[in-house]
Amino acid sequence: MYKNKKIEQPYFTDKPEVGDIFFGESEFIIGRFKDETEDIVQVGFINEDDCYYNKEFIEKIYSKGKVFQFSTTRKVESKLIDESRKSAIWCVESIKYTKSLKLLYSTLPEIYLVKARRMINNKYNENGELIEFYTHNAGQNVVWKNLEVIGKLIKE
């Protein structure tokens, strides 16, 4: 059982912690499914054109009793636009943090991946929508805003 703990003063952060409860942002409206399982929605895209991804397929051609196979790449649309994500309340479920790494000729940037679940009626629900976005990265779905943390979810 989970319980919401109200904090004295809401604060803004770009590195939330597990259990932080925060308000939705306008960057959460445009999203796409992460993969074919359609469990996780990646958000933080600037426009709808970013919701396409390349997928490899195996093409088969049958000719004169023989089968020819070759791989081909197609653009697949996985657009999922939902205006209600902006006004929803979210809870951080997990975080993946990777420090910046200096390589021989370049530097990999710091990565901060946040997975958050939509709260239903201001209560944690395991069946709520799960979103994923970066707060630090040079990737595609990055939310460059500080999130307003309004509470903490604790386990009873």
Nearest to 134 by CA among 51, 20, 45: 45
In a domain, 54, yes or no: no
In a domain, 57, yes or no: no
Residue 156: pLDDT band (50, 70, 90) is: low
* Single pTM value for the model: 0.77
In a domain, 74, yes or no: no
pLDDT digits 0-9 by tens, 62-80: 988 889 898 998 888 778 8
In a domain, 53, yes or no: no
Domain that residue 109 falls in: 2-47+80-155
Cα angle vertex 140, ends 136, 144, to 5°?
A: 40
In a domain, 9, yes or no: yes
Kindly state the DSSP code that residue 27 receives in the 8-state scheme. Answer: G
In a domain, 127, yes or no: yes
How many separate domains does the chain show?
Answer: 1
Predicted confidence (pLDDT) at residue 47 exceeds the cutoff of 80: no
Percent of the chain with pLDDT over 90: 12
Predicted confidence (pLDDT) at residue 53 exceeds the cutoff of 90: no
Work out whether strand 40-43 and strand 130-136 pair parallel, antiparallel, or are unpaired.
parallel
In a domain, 69, yes or no: no
